[in-house]
């Protein structure tokens, strides 16, 4: 398999037995069999078609946020979007961004162009691709509000363009959650604003985020989805789990909705904390907390 892959991708963009702790915001995870740094749509198309035909498991990686990789690693191929799939450009009141572009960079580009609508995304530690898949949001904003069209690739390497309605955006979900699509890029439609006012709003939200969230520790972001009619963090706090710890994994004392790597955590530690939180909250409040975090590989 790798002899063929080497005909598609230069050797310097292949990483074998690479620790996933280097590629996730939680800073935990065992080795991936192989990470391929993908720079073009053509490369991605050929790789996807080949891996699909050969039955090899693969996972498309952006910034590694919202992801927990097991300590025993991932026995498959990681396709990591490279710099040529991170491009951002402004066209009138539209932002065109590649799937690998960081939300922070895209929101900064919008601000600099005097375009409003992405202020909420400035502090979300992920890529546009991941944000589209889960309809990322914060502070009353979400991707659904700004997305015009999304370009995706299917497992046959074909490229499709989906409009906002077709994306079926919901709370932390989209049509891509249930389809074998890979996000390539997105066009967002924003509104004209004043750069100074946009900057002020972004600074306000960033200050709020810093005061409320444990940004000083590695984490996968918010660990649980918000259950209907409740707040996950409050349920966890009321269950007496503030600061609850197993090994190096801990329920944040600053915001109980975050499980953090307080130092030297293993993936198993994080997983055990998540499962204990789920069990205790269900026992006490009869509410099932659903993780936002994606579990990948062997634990």
pLDDT confidence bin for 180, thresholds 50/70/90: confident
What is the tens place of the pLDDT at every residue in 12-57?
999 999 999 999 999 999 999 999 999 999 999 999 999 999 999 9
Give residue 215's pLDDT: 95
Give residue 169's pLDDT: 96
HSE of 229 in the Cβ direction (CA atoms, 13 Å)?
4
What is the tens place of the pLDDT at every residue in 57-114?
999 999 999 999 999 999 999 999 999 999 999 999 999 999 999 999 999 999 999 9
Concatenate the DSSP letters of all residues of 154-189 into one string. Answer: -TTS-EEEEETTTTT-BTTB-GGGGS--EEEEEEEE
In 3D space, the residue among 148, 50, 26, 56 whose CA is nearest the CA of residue 96 turns out to be 148
Give residue 177's pLDDT: 86
What is the tens place of the pLDDT at every residue in 248-293?
999 999 999 999 999 999 999 999 999 999 999 999 999 999 999 9
Give residue 178's pLDDT: 85
∠ CA 80-84-86, rounded to 5°: 75
Tell me the pTM.
Answer: 0.92
Residues classed as catalytic: 172, 222, 292
Asked if 142 and 124 count as a contact pair (C-beta separation under 8 A), the reply is no
Tokens read off for 219: 């984490």
In 3D space, the residue among 279, 274, 284 whose CA is nearest the CA of residue 245 turns out to be 274
């Amino acid at each position: 398999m790798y002899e063929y892959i080497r005909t598609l991708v230069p050797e310097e963009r292949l990483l074998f037995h690479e620790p996933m702790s280097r590629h996730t915001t939680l800073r935990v995870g065992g080795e991936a069999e192989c990470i391929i740094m993908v720079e073009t749509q053509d490369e991605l198309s050929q790789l996807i078609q080949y891996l699909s035909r050969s039955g090899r498991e693969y996972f498309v990686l952006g910034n590694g946020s919202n992801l927990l990789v097991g300590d025993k690693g991932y026995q498959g191929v990681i396709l990591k979007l490279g710099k040529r799939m991170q491009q951002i450009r402004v066209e009138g009141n539209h932002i065109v961004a590649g799937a690998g572009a960081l939300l922070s960079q895209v929101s900064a580009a919008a601000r600099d162009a005097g375009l409003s609508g992405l202020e909420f995304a400035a502090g979300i530690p992920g890529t546009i691709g991941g944000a589209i898949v889960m309809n990322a949001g914060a502070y009353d904003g979400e991707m659904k509000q700004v997305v015009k069209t999304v370009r995706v690739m299917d497992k046959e390497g074909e490229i499709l363009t989906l409009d906002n309605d077709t994306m079926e955006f919901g709370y932390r979900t989209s049509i891509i959650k249930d389809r074998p699509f890979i996000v390539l890029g997105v066009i967002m439609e924003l509104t004209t604003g004043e750069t100074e006012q946009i900057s002020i709003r972004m600074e306000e939200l960033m200050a709020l985020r810093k005061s409320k969230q444990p940004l000083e520790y590695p984490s996968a972001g918010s660990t649980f989805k918000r259950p209907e009619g409740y707040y996950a963090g409050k349920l966890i706090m009321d269950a007496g789990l503030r600061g609850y710890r197993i090994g190096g994994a801990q329920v944040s004392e600053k915001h109980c909705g975050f499980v953090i790597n307080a130092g030297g955590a293993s993936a198993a530690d994080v997983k055990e904390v998540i499962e204990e939180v789920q069990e205790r909250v269900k026992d006490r409040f009869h509410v099932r907390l659903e993780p936002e975090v994606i579990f990948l590989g062997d634990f």
